[in-house]
Amino acid sequence: MSNTSSGQFLAELITERLIKSQAAQSSILEDLARDALNNAIDLGMPDNQLEEWKYVDLPELYRLDLKPLEKLDFNDHGIQLMQKESELYQFVPAQINLINGQIVPGLSKVSDHLGIHHHSLTEVYQAKTAFFESHFNRLAEKSAFNLLNTGFCEGGLVLDLPPHHDPKEILLIQNYSIPDSASSSLLSPRLLLRLGANAHLKLVLVLNGEECPRTYLNNLLGEIYLSPNSSLELTLIQNEASRAYHLSEFSFALEEEANLKINHFCLGGAFSKSKIMVDLRGKHAQAELNGLYALGGSAHSHNQIAVNHIAPHTLSKQFYKGVLSGTARGEFTGTINVAKEALKTDASQLNQNLLLSEKAHIDTRPQLQISADDVKCGHGASIGQLAEEQIFYFQTRGLSRADAQKILTFGFAEEIIEKVHPPELIAKLNNFVMNNLGLS
Amino acid sequence: MLKIIKLRAKVEDQEVLKGIDLEILPGQIHAIMGPNGSGKSTLSKVLVGHPDYQVTDGEILFEGENILELDPEDRAKLGIFLGFQYPVEVSGVNNADFLRLAYNAKQVALGEPELDPFDFNELLEKKLKLLDIYNEIYTERSVNDGFSGGEKKRNEILQMAILEPKLAILDEIDSGLDIDALRAVAYGINKLVSLEKALLLITHYHRLLEHITPTHVHIMYQGKIIRSGGKELPLILEQTGYQELVSTN
C-alpha cells in the first residue's frame, strides 16, 4: 500500500521536475539533479518497514500532493515576513536571511560585519571551483529524501570561511519557509559550509516558517566541513510552522583537532525528523552535541544522532533532553560507532525525558557499535515525570501547583537552553519552549 | 493563632493522628517531642495540607479560619510555613530564583509590590547576613542540589527568613546536624522569633531545646499528645525516657 503511494509520489514530482528542467535552461546543477532523481527512483521512497520511519505516518506524507514552488522569486509578502523575522533577531546583527533556501540579498548583511563571503549554490557551481567539486554532495547519505533535495534544491547557501579567520561576532542564518498558497509545497534548502584550518565560527541557524493553512515539507540538507584546528559552535533551532513537516540532515566531517559544539532545539512542526551525523576523521577531533526537544499537542519528532569515531583519540558527548506534553510523541536514536582504528575513543551519550502528560510518548534507542579495544563509551537514558514531592515543596512556599509544574519543567529544559549565547536568544528559546508545552 | 481540635488523620487507611488538641498563641514557642512513629511528622504535614494525608475528623483553625479545605499554597499565603525534615533537592532551579518566586507569590497574596531580581538580591543578602550564613551556594546553586545536611537545613531557615511566616513549623530541623551546624541553625531561628510570631518545633531530642527555649512542650505518643508542660519537661523526659512517661499516663 505504502509502496504504491510512495512510488506515485516520487514519479509525479520527478516528472514535473524534468519538464521544468527542459523549459528553463538556466536551472542549476542539472546533471547532479538528474542523477540524484534517477537514483531516487531506483532506491524508492522509504516505508514503515524501516526502523527510522517506523512510527511516522508516511502514507499521509505521500498523500499530501507536494509540489515544488512554481516561482522562486520573492514577492512583497515574503520579503515583509522575512524582514519581520529578521528584526526579531536583531540582537545578532550579522545575518543571512533565506526564504525557502534562497538568499534574500537586501536582508543579508555579512561582509560588513564579519568579512565572510557567502554565495548561492548556483554561483559556486558556475564558478566550477575545486571546493565545490570536492565537497558538494560528498558527505550526505544517499537516502531517498536527500536525493530529492539534490534534485530540487535551488539557490542554496555556500559559506567558505578562510583559514585563520576568527570573527568574534555571532552569525545568524535564518531560513524562512513560505509555502505556496495553492498547494502543499516541497521545499529543498541546501547548505554547504567549510571552515578553513584554524578558522572559528559561532553560528545560529534558525529554521522557521509561515503559519498558514497550507502545509509544507521542508526537506533540508546540510554538509559541513571542519578543517584541522577549526571550531564551530552551532545553535540549531528548528521552529517550523505548526502544520509543517520537517526533514533535515546535517552531516559534519571533522579533521584533526577540529572542535564542534552543537546546541540543537527541536520545537516546531507537526512532524519533524532531524538527523545529525558527525564523522570524527582526524585525531583529537571532538564533538559535543546538546539537544532539547519540547513537544506539545500532537507533535511528533524524531532526533537521530550518529557519531562516527573514525580516528584515534577522538571525543564525543551527546546530551539530549526531551519534554513532552499533550499527545506528543518523541523518538531519540543515538548512535555511537567506533571504528577499529579509533583507539582511545572517549564517547558518551545521555538522553533524559520528562513526560508532562499520560498520553505523551517517548522511544529512546541508544545504539553502540564498538569495533576497537581500549575505548571509553558510556550511555544512559531516563524517562520520568515531575516529582510530586518537589511540587508539594514548592506549594508549601506559596507557589501554585501550576506554577510549580512550570518552574520545574523550565528547570529541566534550562540545562540545555542556558548553554546558548547571547542572553537574548536564551530568553527567546525559553518562550518557544514554554509556549510549545502550553505552559506560558 | 493556631487551634487544633480533636484532629484525626490517616495515611493509606492507617490512622496516625488519633485526636490531637493544641492551641498556639502569638509569641509562643511550642515543642512536640516523641518517639519514632508517634505521629509528630504527620501532624506537621497535615497542618500544611500534604495530599497523602486524609483528615477524618476534627478541625484546624488558623486565626479563626478553618484551613482544612485549603491547598498547601493557600495555607502558605496565610503565613504558615513548614521547614522540612528532608528538604527536597531540585536541580535546574536556581535557589535565589526560587526564593524570589516564593517571596513574590506572598507579596501578590498580600497585595504588596513584587521585587525584581536586583531588589530581591538586596533583600536576600540582608537575610543571609542576619542569619550569618553568607555563602554563595544559597544564591548560585540549584535548590538544595548537592547541599550538605546542614546546608539544607540552613536553607530552610533562610526561606523562613525571607517569607516571614506567622507560624513556622520546623520538623526535626536538628536531625542529622553536628553540634556546630545545630548551633548555627538555632542561632538563625532565634533571630526570627518575635512576639507576633509563633514557632512549633518538632524534635526527637532535647538538645535543640538547649538552644531554643520553648514556652510549651508536648509529648506525643501513638497519635496523641499524652503530656504537656513547660521547658522543664524535656529534662524529665531525658531522665525517665519515653517508656516511663507513657506508663505513668
> Which secondary structure element, helix H or strand E, spans residue A318, and what is its range?
strand A315-324
Considering only CB atoms, B159 lies closest to which of A397, A407, A412, namely A397
Q: What integer pLDDT is reported at residue B21 of this predicted model?
A: 96
Across the range B25-29, mean pLDDT stands at 96
Measured between CA atoms, how close is A405 to chain B, in angstroms?
12
Q: What integer pLDDT is reported at residue A234 of this predicted model?
A: 98
Q: What integer pLDDT is reported at residue A26 of this predicted model?
A: 47
Cα distances from A201 to residues A87, A161, A416, in angstroms, run 22, 8, 20
For chain A, percent helix, then strand, then coil, each to nearest 5?
30, 35, 35
Could you tell me if B166 lies within 8 Å of chain A, comparing CB atoms? no
Neighbouring residues of B62: CB distance < 8 A, sequence distance ≥ 6: B1, B2, B3, B75, B78, B79, B80, B167
Could you tell me if B98 lies within 8 Å of chain A, comparing CB atoms? yes
Chain B: residue nearest A411 by CA? B92
Position with higher pLDDT, A117 vs B229: B229
Q: What integer pLDDT is reported at residue A67 of this predicted model?
A: 85
Half-sphere exposure of B117 (CA within 13 A, CB side): 6
CA distance A68 to A183: 9
Quote the mean pLDDT of chain B.
93
CA-based end-to-end distance of chain A: 42
Whether residues A393 and B88 touch (CB distance < 8 A) is answered with: yes
**Among A178-192, A284-298, A309-323, which is the least confidently predicted range?**
A178-192
Could you tell me if A393 lies within 8 Å of chain B, comparing CB atoms? yes
Measured between CA atoms, how close is A406 to chain B, in angstroms?
11
Could you tell me if B72 lies within 8 Å of chain A, comparing CB atoms? yes
Considering only CB atoms, A395 lies closest to which of B71, B81, B93, namely B71
Whether residues B88 and A415 touch (CB distance < 8 A) is answered with: no
Considering only CB atoms, B73 lies closest to which of A400, A412, A415, namely A400
Considering only CB atoms, B73 lies closest to which of A399, A407, A410, namely A399
Whether residues B101 and A407 touch (CB distance < 8 A) is answered with: yes
Residue type, position A122, single letter: T
Could you tell me if B105 lies within 8 Å of chain A, comparing CB atoms? yes
Q: Which residues of chain A lie closer than 8 angstroms to B84, CB-CB? A: 393, 396
Q: Are A237 and A212 in contact (CB under 8 A)?
A: no
User: Has residue A70 got a pLDDT over 80?
Assistant: no
Q: Which residues of chain A lie closer than 8 angstroms to B73, CB-CB? A: 395-401
Whether residues A398 and B106 touch (CB distance < 8 A) is answered with: yes
ipTM: 0.96
Classify each residue of A328-344 as buried b or exposed e, where b means 16 or more C-beta atoms within 10 Å of its C-beta: bbbbbbbbbbbbeebbb
| Residue B88: closest CA among A75, A413, A240, A404 | A404
Q: Hey, what's the cell of A329?
A: 510523541
The pTM for the full model equals 0.89
Q: How many CB pairs under 8 A join A and B?
A: 70
CA distance B40 to B35: 9
CA distance A351 to A366: 9
Distance of CA A276 to the CA centre of its chain: 7
Q: Read off the pLDDT of residues B203-239 as tens digits, 9 standing for 90 and up.
A: 988 889 999 999 999 999 999 999 999 998 888 888 8
| Residue A269: closest CA among A210, A351, A340, A350 | A210
CA distance A107 to A86: 8
Does residue B25 sit in helix, strand or coil?
coil
Whether residues B71 and A412 touch (CB distance < 8 A) is answered with: no
Measured between CA atoms, how close is B243 to chain A, in angstroms?
34
Quote the mean pLDDT of chain A.
91
Instruction: Return the number of other C-beta atoms located less than 10 Å from residue B99's C-beta.
Output: 25
Q: Are A204 and A425 in contact (CB under 8 A)?
A: yes
Measured between CA atoms, how close is B132 to chain A, in angstroms?
22
Mutate: best of A397, A405, A408, partner B, most B CBs <10 A = A397
| Residue A158: closest CA among A198, A129, A185 | A129
Could you tell me if A395 lies within 8 Å of chain B, comparing CB atoms? yes
User: Has residue B80 got a pLDDT over 80?
Assistant: yes
Q: Read off the pLDDT of residues A164-193 as tens digits, 9 standing for 90 and up.
A: 999 889 999 999 999 988 888 999 999 999
